[in-house]
Amino acid sequence: MDRVDTALANVLSAIGGWEVVPKELVPLGLGRAAKGRTVWRLVEEVVKQNLQVRAEELGLADVTVPEDEVGPYDCVVSTGELPSVHLNLKAAGTSGRANKDDVSKAEAIEEFYRSGGDDALLCVAVVKLEFVETRIEFRGHQLFNVAWIPDIYVNPSNNNLQSSKYRTDRTERTNIDFLALLEAQLAAAHAKRAAKAATGRRV
């Protein structure tokens, strides 16, 4: 994780930022909608591809992208040592809001740990960015091990694993222990959703 953390820091520093759209096309500046998910997905793609093409200069053995894009990670980063880091890239603003953030679909994460065993390593890299007029500027990142999220919660409305404490805290545990806690939260979310459906209320 330390080597991947350093590689991310170096690639973000090398990119720095870029202009989203020429200023003359948006004379009033980028609106709120233009700063949303679409641009964030573009940021994630830029970071992923730069990790791939710069792998050697970043001191990485290899960076591969899975054929299936619906899994809980965007690429697999090999440092030459086991285990490889299955990396989920997320873009986020520099706001300090403390509400729960989505990590990924809980059932996809459950399947990852079920099939990968106790040596599997799934990490999320939150790439922090700021909009400066019509530019995106990188403002650092945070890398965390999903299995060490301190507050494990599955949202019954969308089945997403969520956390609000990953920025400041971690609970070191084995994948087996994490999987047991995650499955308990999934069961609770399913039960809550079923109860709401039976009464006709929204989750």
In a domain, 203, yes or no: no
Query: 85-101: per-residue pLDDT in tens?
Result: 999 999 988 765 556 78
pTM above 0.85, yes or no: yes
In a domain, 48, yes or no: yes
Check residue 166 and give its pLDDT: 87
Q: What is the pLDDT of residue 95?
A: 63
100 occurs within a structural domain: yes
Under DSSP, the state recorded for 151 is S
Q: Which domain holds residue 93?
A: 2-198
**Residue 157, domain member (yes or no):** yes
**Mean pLDDT, the chain, as a whole number?**
91
∠ CA 117-119-122, nearest 5°, is 90
- What backbone torsions phi and psi does residue 189 show, to the nearest 5 degrees? -65, -40
Tell me the torsion sign for CA atoms 61, 68, 53, 91: negative
* Residues 68-96, mean pLDDT to the nearest whole number: 89
> How many degrees, rounded to 5, is the angle at CA 111 between CA 43 and CA 3?
50
Residue 129 domain-assigned? yes
Phi, psi of 141 (to 5 degrees): -160, 170
Domain for residue 169, yes or no? yes
CA–CA distance, 126 with 160 (Å, rounded to integer): 16
Pairing of strands 101-105, 160-163: antiparallel
Q: What is the CATH number of the domain that holds 144?
A: 3.40.600
pLDDT of residue 202: 63
Average pLDDT, integer, range 114-122: 93
Tell me the pLDDT tens digit for each residue of 162-195: 998 888 899 999 999 999 999 999 999 999 988 8
In a domain, 94, yes or no: yes
Residue 142 lies in a domain: yes
Question: How many structural domains is the chain composed of?
Answer: 1
13-63 per-position pLDDT tens digit: 999 999 988 999 988 888 877 777 778 889 999 999 999 999 999 999 999
> What number is the average pLDDT over the span 119-128?
95
